[in-house]
Structure 1
Amino acid sequence: MQELIIASHNEGKVEEIRKILSDFGVRVRSLADLDQQVPDVEETGTTFEENAQLKASSYAAMLNMPVLADDSGLEIDALDGRPGVFSARYAGEEKNDENNLQKVLTEMDGVKNRSARFVTVLALVLDEGTMELFRGECEGTITTSPVGENGFGYDPIFTPKDKSVTMAQLTKQEKNAISHRGHALDLFKHWLSSRQSD
Structure 2
Amino acid sequence: MSATHTSRPSIPSTLTNHWVLASNNKGKLAEFKRLFAEANLDVTVIPQGQLDIEDAIEDGLSFIENALIKARHASRISGLPAIADDSGLCVPVLGNAPGIYSARYAGEHGNDSKNNAKLVTELQPIRNEQANEPIKGLFVCVLAMVRHANDPLPIIAQGLWQGEILATPHGDGGFGYDPLFWLPELQTTAASLSATDKNSISHRGQAIQQLLAQLPL
Identity among equivalent pairs (%): 35
CA apart distance, 1:24? 3.6
Alignment partners' CA distance in 1, 2:35 and 2:83: 10
Letter in 2 for 1:131: P
1:149-186 per-residue CA deviation (whole Å, 9 max, x = no partner) reads 11111111111352211111111111111100000011
- Match in the other structure for 2:144: 123
CA apart distance, 1:130? 2.6
Please say if residues 14 and 29 of structure 1, whose CA atoms lie closer than 8 Å, have aligned partners that are also in contact: no
- Match in the other structure for 1:175: 198
- Match in the other structure for 1:49: 64
- Aligned length in residues: 191
Of 141, 155, 170, the residue aligned with 2:178 is 155
Structure 2 unaligned residues grouped into runs of 5+: 1-14
Bigger Rg over Cα: 2
1:66-110 per-residue CA deviation (whole Å, 9 max, x = no partner) reads 100010100001100000011001001343101110111111114
Of 88, 104, 114, the residue aligned with 2:135 is 114
Structure 1 unaligned residues grouped into runs of 5+: none
CA apart distance, 1:121? 0.4
1:108 match: secondary structure: helix
1:1-198 equivalences in 2 (<5 Å):
1=15, 2-9=17-24, 10=26, 11-20=29-38, 23-34=40-51, 37-109=52-124, 110-111=126-127, 112=130, 114-127=135-148, 128-192=151-215, 195-196=216-217
Letter in 2 for 1:82: A
TM-score (norm 1): 0.89
CA apart distance, 1:19? 0.9
- With over 3 angstroms needed to count, the CA separation of the structure-2 counterparts of 1:177 and 1:13, relative to structure 1, is closer
Moved more, 135-144 or 111-120: 111-120
Q: Which has the higher contact order (CA 8 A, sep 6+)?
A: 2
- With over 3 angstroms needed to count, the CA separation of the structure-2 counterparts of 1:24 and 1:91, relative to structure 1, is closer
- With over 3 angstroms needed to count, the CA separation of the structure-2 counterparts of 1:166 and 1:39, relative to structure 1, is closer
Moved more, 176-185 or 110-119: 110-119
CA RMSD of aligned residues (A): 1.7
1:86 match: secondary structure: helix
- With over 3 angstroms needed to count, the CA separation of the structure-2 counterparts of 1:169 and 1:38, relative to structure 1, is closer
TM-score (norm 2): 0.82
